[in-house]
Chains A and B, each alone.
Chain A
Amino acid sequence: MAMIAENISLHLAGFDLLRNINLTIESGQVTAVVGPNGAGKSSLLKVLTGDIKPTDGRVLLNGRNISQWEMREKANLLAILPQHSELNFPFTASEVVGLGRIPHLTGYGKDQEITINALQLVDASYLQRRLYTQMSGGERQRVQLARVLAQIWSPSDLGQQFLVLDEPTSAFDLSHQQMILDIVRQFASRGVGVLMVLHDLNLAAKCADNLVIVNNGVIAAHGSPDKVLSEQLINEVFDVQAVIARHPVTDTPLVIT
């Protein structure tokens, strides 16, 4: 089972935002989407998660068209961390994470336990009773991450689960960037299919099984980071002269600009 984009195109207000995109998010794998600003990464995510209907093509979640899933069932399978949050009401961190349990009927005790564990996983236990509105950007992002993780905390009978993260590292310091990569790998090893938009090519290379380069609304390259990252491609897509080296420890590609 997988999340599959079949020949997706998206035209909005006279613009071709996406053209003929085919993409498969395998369960248990981490797929990273990279590309310059305005390349269509966010549009792709919105179409994949069912926020926007594609003009052409379709998205399948575990074999069924994403728009045909019952909403609560879909919420059991697919959790999404947006880039920004509009939340400006003074929930505590625990309450925010508890919102991730809305699609579940597991009861207060279980939800509470998951909330505590999720906060601990994102290094935010100390925030439990703090108000969201009084937190720093990085703290908010970690609490939101915990909410999304709580939503797919345990496997579902309904099928394979997927985690979609839109620039999850943007507000994080180095140690929390590393933390999120570990969490993502941990969920993937449990069978969750992970899709994330990243800006940092080196983070993507370090963590992803598959790298998808999006440029001008099409997929410019797709495959393992080793295969995809080349000096020529980076020059074409990002218009930057780079050197590809090897990471001395992990032996993953290292993009030096």
Chain B
Amino acid sequence: MRYFSAPVLVWILALLLPVVAVTSLGVGTIAISSAEILHSFSSAVIGSSGDAQTNSILFDIRLPRILLALLVGAVLASTGAVMQGLFRNPLADPSLIGVSGGASVGASLMIVSAGGFIQAGALTGLSLVAIGAFAGGFIATIVVYRVATSNLGTSVTTMLLAGIAMGALAGALNSLLSYFSDNEMLRQISVWQMGNLSGANWLKVAVMGAVSIWLLMRLPAQAKALNALLLGESEARHLGIDVQSVKRRLILLTALGVGVSVAVAGLVGFVGLVIPHIVRLIIGPDHRWLLPASALAGASLLIVADSIARVVVLPAELPTGILTALIGAPFFVVLLMHQRREI
């Protein structure tokens, strides 16, 4: 049973995204009305200066943050769809290939070993933590991929198991690092692991933007291959798909996309798992529609979650990752119960 035709859903989501993004501009510790937003933007366009404080909140804080949420959400959700297709498992997510575990070890290592340099590193806008997270995530993925690859090709099952082993190892290393941390480091580690967009700035947006655009432009060309892969690897080969190179390409793209996402936003859970799953329930598993629809839905969800995170415990903020899990997990459980009832 399909609830919508795929193009209709993509259109709805494409129209919803700008609405969500603009609405989110007004939400925060200081509420800004839509008239003020309009005024600020129009005065920025014609070059005159509006209210300095409002401008600063809009252009230095909220806009980069919303754009970062949009990009991270889009990348996490679409790579989640890719992983679920590649593993032929609707419950797979990007963390399965070790990228999240590796990234959190990289980040913790930086916080613990280079704690004093973090402030200095912040000068560049991309902290050492971000670089450590990216490196850790990428290295972990490469290790998992290598373990699972023999001259017979990459075994998806082995990769899944190697990813689980990598996750356990990363968990242990993280605990070890936490054990030797002082209070301040411990707090930084745990806040980072919750996933947080409050550190958004234009440099992060630029880096994330470049990676996301490249990724989101490369993925559609793999949609048919992913569809064929759902039949099984040998069936995909018989349909003319070069399975091994598709796998390598998709794993690299995912490691890069998720690696950078995690570096700029920490561990934001559930977007990569839940969004593609929900989209698939609505329009089916055809990746030609699933990938763009997931990207759009993930972008919207993360913007909404981040907006709520900004205001739910005023005047403080919650880490965004807490919100995505708080919204995502119960929704997912309801979905699973609903699904069981249909079977």
Query: Cβ of A71 and Cβ of B237 under 8 Å apart?
Result: yes
> What CA separation (Å) do A88 and B87 show in the bound complex?
12
Within 8 Å by CB of A71, from B230, B234, B240, B285, lies B240
> What CA separation (Å) do A199 and B155 show in the bound complex?
31
> What CA separation (Å) do A80 and B234 show in the bound complex?
10
Instruction: Tell me which residues across on chain B come within 8 A of A224, comparing CB atoms.
Output: none
Query: Cβ of B285 and Cβ of A102 under 8 Å apart?
Result: no
B171 CB within 8 Å of chain A: no
Indicate the member of A86, A95, A100 with the most B CB atoms within 10 Å.
Answer: A86
Indicate the member of A51, A74, A90 with the most B CB atoms within 10 Å.
Answer: A90
Instruction: Tell me which residues across on chain A come within 8 A of B235, comparing CB atoms.
Output: 80, 82, 85-86
A78 CB within 8 Å of chain B: yes
B227 CB within 8 Å of chain A: yes
Cβ of B237 to closest chain A Cβ, rounded Å: 7
A79 CB within 8 Å of chain B: yes
Instruction: Tell me which residues across on chain B come within 8 A of A80, comparing CB atoms.
Output: 235, 238
Query: Cβ of A90 and Cβ of B239 under 8 Å apart?
Result: no
B232 CB within 8 Å of chain A: yes
The B215-273 residues at the A interface (CB cut-off 8 A) are 224, 227-228, 230-232, 234-235, 237-242
Cβ of A157 to closest chain B Cβ, rounded Å: 15
B204 CB within 8 Å of chain A: no
The B78-100 residues at the A interface (CB cut-off 8 A) are 88, 90
With A82-B232, A86-B232, A99-B228 known as contacts, the answer to whether A72 contacts B280 (CB < 8 A) is: no
B1 CB within 8 Å of chain A: yes
A49 CB within 8 Å of chain B: yes
Query: Cβ of A51 and Cβ of B239 under 8 Å apart?
Result: no
A244 CB within 8 Å of chain B: no
Query: Cβ of B230 and Cβ of A87 under 8 Å apart?
Result: yes
What range describes how many residues of B lie at the interface?
A: 20 to 34
Instruction: Tell me which residues across on chain B come within 8 A of A75, comparing CB atoms.
Output: 238-240
Instruction: Tell me which residues across on chain A come within 8 A of B237, comparing CB atoms.
Output: 51, 71
Cβ of A139 to closest chain B Cβ, rounded Å: 16
A91 CB within 8 Å of chain B: yes
Instruction: Tell me which residues across on chain B come within 8 A of A2, comparing CB atoms.
Output: none
With A82-B235, A85-B235 known as contacts, the answer to whether A99 contacts B88 (CB < 8 A) is: no
Instruction: Tell me which residues across on chain B come within 8 A of A85, comparing CB atoms.
Output: 231-232, 235
> What CA separation (Å) do A102 and B232 show in the bound complex?
15
Query: Cβ of B90 and Cβ of A89 under 8 Å apart?
Result: yes
What range describes how many residues of A lie at the interface?
A: 20 to 34
Query: Cβ of A71 and Cβ of B231 under 8 Å apart?
Result: no
With A85-B235, A91-B285, A95-B284 known as contacts, the answer to whether A102 contacts B227 (CB < 8 A) is: yes
> What CA separation (Å) do A72 and B284 show in the bound complex?
26
> What CA separation (Å) do A126 and B237 show in the bound complex?
29
B286 CB within 8 Å of chain A: yes
Indicate the member of B88, B237, B239 with the most A CB atoms within 10 Å.
Answer: B239
Within 8 Å by CB of A90, from B231, B234, B242, B285, lies B285
Spell out A's residues near B (CB within 8 Å): 49, 51, 71-76, 78-80, 82, 85-92, 95-96, 99-100, 102-103, 131, 151
Closest 10 CB pairs of A and B: A75-B240, A72-B240, A103-B240, A89-B285, A86-B232, A71-B240, A102-B239, A80-B238, A89-B230, A87-B231
Spell out B's residues near A (CB within 8 Å): 1-2, 88, 90, 224, 227-228, 230-232, 234-235, 237-242, 280, 284-286
What are 25 A-B contacts with C-beta separation under 8 Å?
A51-B237, A71-B237, A71-B241, A75-B238, A75-B239, A78-B238, A80-B235, A80-B238, A82-B234, A85-B235, A86-B88, A86-B232, A86-B235, A89-B90, A89-B230, A90-B280, A90-B284, A90-B285, A91-B286, A95-B284, A96-B231, A99-B227, A102-B239, A103-B239, A131-B284
Contacts beyond the supplied A51-B234, A76-B240, A102-B241: 12 A-B pairs with Cβ under 8 Å: A74-B240, A82-B234, A85-B231, A85-B235, A86-B231, A86-B232, A91-B230, A91-B286, A95-B227, A95-B286, A99-B227, A131-B284
